[in-house]
A and B are shown apart, each in its own frame.
Chain A
Amino acid sequence: ILNVEQSPQSLHVQEGDSTNFTCSFPSSNFYALHWYRWETAKSPEALFVMTLNGDEKKKGRISATLNTKEGYSYLYIKGSQPEDSATYLCAFYGTSYGKLTFGQGTILTVHP
């Protein structure tokens, strides 16, 4: 059974704050690590697909880093805005089994 853990479970920040959260995953049989943003009443939206150790990706105010040797990824949001409020999911893709294993998500609430 693969364990993909996300922390914290929920987070409340003020508009303008920068924040980050963590995804931990198995360090063996790694193929890719996905990040998704899931807003209420919408479909999960892909943010990043990361495959290389040391990878850093950026999309606007959101960035992510990857450490496959120790099995973690960080997602950073700079200058949080209320529209960033969503559940952020990470998902691990291993080489030995054709499926995405999701973490339980981090619920981010940005207060105006």
Chain B
Amino acid sequence: DAGVTQSPTHLIKTRGQQVTLRCSPISGHKSVSWYQQVLGQGPQFIFQYYEKEERGRGNFPDRFSARQFPNYSSELNVNALLLGDSALYLCASSLGTLYEQFFGPGTRLTVL
């Protein structure tokens, strides 16, 4: 079975631009979570979706938004990019909101 997939692998943007990151969960998983990881820190929670509804939101500005589609895939959007948004963005899927999470390989975003 395919694991969690994310696209693109790497992305370079400039300040002020907008970016969309994509995630496909493991088949059968209905929950998708997004995390931001910067060097030297653990992943920071951004969003969790379950059955297309937002179930949790971390301490991130409104420039960050996400959605989950009927096939349970998900997109993370970041508007008005700042240099500080440069990070590894991880997606994780799970059977439900309180279950073990399976992580994708991440998208490395660089903002210049």
Binding site for B on A (CB under 8 A): 4, 6, 31-32, 34, 36, 42-46, 49, 89, 91, 93, 97-105
> What would 20 A/B residue contacts be, using CB atoms closer than 8 Å?
A4-B42, A31-B98, A34-B101, A43-B104, A43-B105, A46-B100, A49-B99, A89-B42, A91-B42, A93-B98, A98-B48, A98-B55, A99-B48, A99-B58, A100-B45, A102-B35, A102-B45, A103-B42, A104-B40, A104-B41
Q: Are A49 and B33 interface neighbours, CB within 8 A?
A: no
Q: Given that A89-B42, A105-B42 are contacting pairs, would A100 and B101 also be in contact in the complex, using a CB cutoff of 8 Å?
A: yes
Interface size bracket, B side: 20 to 34
A-B Cβ contacts below 8 A, count: 56
Bound form: Cα–Cα A35–B50 in Å: 22
Set A34, A46, A101: member contacting B45, Cβ < 8 A = A101
**B interface secondary structure, majority:** loop
**Closest A residue, CB atoms, query B40:** A104
Q: Are A43 and B106 interface neighbours, CB within 8 A?
A: yes
Within 8 A of A (CB), among B20-61: 33, 35, 40-45, 48, 55-56, 58
**A interface secondary structure, majority:** strand
Bound form: Cα–Cα A45–B42 in Å: 14
Q: Are A98 and B56 interface neighbours, CB within 8 A?
A: yes
Interface assignment of B103: CB less than 8 Å from any CB of chain A: yes
Instruction: Give the residue among B3, B35, B41, B45 with the most A Cβ atoms within 10 A.
Output: B45
Give the chain A neighbours of B98 by CB distance below 8 A: 31-32, 93, 98
Give the chain B neighbours of A45 by CB distance below 8 A: 103
Q: Are B102 and A46 interface neighbours, CB within 8 A?
A: yes
Give the chain B neighbours of A44 by CB distance below 8 A: 43, 90, 103
